[in-house]
């Protein structure tokens, strides 16, 4: 019997890792707000996270055939980092909007904190199940 790794824990771990990448990109944008010619970057990870969660409503390949690769929640996710196409270029060629980046940073931090809290609770439930469930035998 394959008990595998809990997909919720894997998804929350992925969310935390990707939120950290996003925080670094946002921080870099803010740090370069006064750099002439700097183009603001953004992270696309919702698609990758949907793929990990299996929420993209596509049939998954099976691992029965050689060469098939099934993505698991424990596999690392590489979010795409690209230049923000919505950036408005200033006179010096910079596309960073400092106030917009600060809002993105606050949102990202809230989502990171929520994922961390959910992971903490999930692990707490597992710990409870292990410690309380094993004592009744």
Q: What is the pLDDT of residues 76-88, one digit of tens each?
A: 677 889 998 888 9
- Collapsing DSSP to helix, strand or coil, 10 comes out as helix
Q: For residue 93, what are the contacts with CB-CB under 8 A and spacing of at least 6?
A: 36, 37, 38
pLDDT at position 33, please? 95
- Read off the pLDDT band of 66 (50, 70, 90): low
pLDDT digits (tens, 9 = 90+) for 15-53: 899 999 999 999 999 999 999 999 999 998 777 667 666
- Read off the pLDDT band of 1 (50, 70, 90): very low
Of 83, 88, 96, 93, the residue nearest 37 (C-alpha): 93
pTM of the model as a whole: 0.74
Of 11, 20, 30, the residue nearest 109 (C-alpha): 20
Alpha helices in the chain (DSSP H): 7-31, 46-53, 98-133
Q: What is the phi/psi pair of residue 83, to 5°?
A: -70, 135
Q: Which helix (H) or strand (E) holds 80?
A: strand 80-83
């Amino acid at each position: 019997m394959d008990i595998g790794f809990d997909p919720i824990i894997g998804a929350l771990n992925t969310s935390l890792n990707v939120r950290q990448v996003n925080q670094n990109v946002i921080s870099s944008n803010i740090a370069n707000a006064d750099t002439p010619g700097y183009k603001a970057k953004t992270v696309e990870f919702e698609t990758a996270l949907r793929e990990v969660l299996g929420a993209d409503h596509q049939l998954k390949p099976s691992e029965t055939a050689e060469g098939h690769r099934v993505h698991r929640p424990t596999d690392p996710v590489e979010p795409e980092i690209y230049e923000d196409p919505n950036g408005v270029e200033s006179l010096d060629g910079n596309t960073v909007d400092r106030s917009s980046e600060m809002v993105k940073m606050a949102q990202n931090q809230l989502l990171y904190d929520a994922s961390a809290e959910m992971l903490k609770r999930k692990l707490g439930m597992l710990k409870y199940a292990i410690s309380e469930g094993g004592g009744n035998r």
